[in-house]
Amino acid sequence: MKKIVSIMGICAALGLTACGEKQVVAENGDTVVINFAGFLDGVQFPGGTAENFPLKLGSGQFVPGFEDQVVGMAEGEERDVNITFPEQYVPELAGKAVVFKVKVVDILDK
Residue 11 lies in a domain: no
Q: What pLDDT digit, counting tens, does each position of 33-52 carry?
A: 999 999 999 999 999 999 99
For residue 87, being part of any structural domain is answered with yes
Give pTM, 2 decimals. Answer: 0.78
Residue 94 counted as domain residue? yes
For residue 85, give the CATH number of its domain: 3.10.50.40
Report how far residue 102's alpha carbon sits from residue 7's, in angstroms, rounded to the nearest whole number.
31
User: What would the mean pLDDT of 59-80 be, rounded to a whole number?
Assistant: 97
Contact call for residues 81 and 88 (beta carbons, < 8 A): no
Question: Could you give the number of structural domains in the chain?
Answer: 1
- Give the pLDDT confidence score for residue 109 in this predicted structure: 74
CB 80, CB 39: distance < 8 Å: no
Q: What is the pLDDT of residue 21?
A: 65
Structural contact between residues 85 and 95, judged by C-beta atoms closer than 8 angstroms: yes
Checking if the pLDDT of 9 tops 60, the result is no
The answer to the question of residue 15 being in a domain is no
The per-residue pLDDT for range 14-27, each reduced to its tens digit, is 555 555 567 899 99
Q: Does residue 14 fall inside a structural domain?
A: no
Q: In which domain, by residue range, is 36 found?
A: 24-108
